[in-house]
Amino acid sequence: MKTAIKAASALAFILIFSVSLFAEGYPTSTPAANATAVVSGTVLDNATGETLAGVAVTVEGTETRVYTDLDGNFTISGLQPGKYNLILSMISYKNSLVENVQLQANEKEVIDIKLDNK
């Protein structure tokens, strides 16, 4: 069973990575006019502390979505200053909601997030 889950996770990561390579010229987020707020961070496995690649990080209530890189890092730029909720999801992990991320103009908010296995 664990082998099937690992195989499915690997296949999903390859699919996500492939799609992001082909869509390189087409951003997955719509930057807001005159926005200077940025949020970035690293996503880790809560049990092992290992970084997680291919995690979808979505700004709740928008179409803005990015995926963590091979080192588990993500950056979302082009947001208006304000409070946001981030939704993180990945196959074989519980979805995570990070609430009330406060973004200031001309600043970069850095957060680390840990995901739990299902």
pLDDT recorded at residue 16: 55
Higher pLDDT residue, 93 or 20?
93
CATH code where residue 106 lies: 2.60.40.1120
Flag whether the pTM goes above 0.75. no
What is the C-alpha separation between 59 and 85, in angstroms, rounded?
6
Report whether pLDDT(28) > 70.
no
b/e sequence 46-66, b meaning 16+ C-beta within 10 Å: eeeeebbbbbbbbbeeeebeb
- pLDDT tens for residues 55-114? 999 999 989 999 999 999 999 998 899 999 999 999 999 999 999 999 998 889 999 999
Strands 108-115 and 73-79: unpaired
pLDDT recorded at residue 9: 55
Q: Which domain holds residue 71?
A: 2-115
**Total domains, the chain:** 1
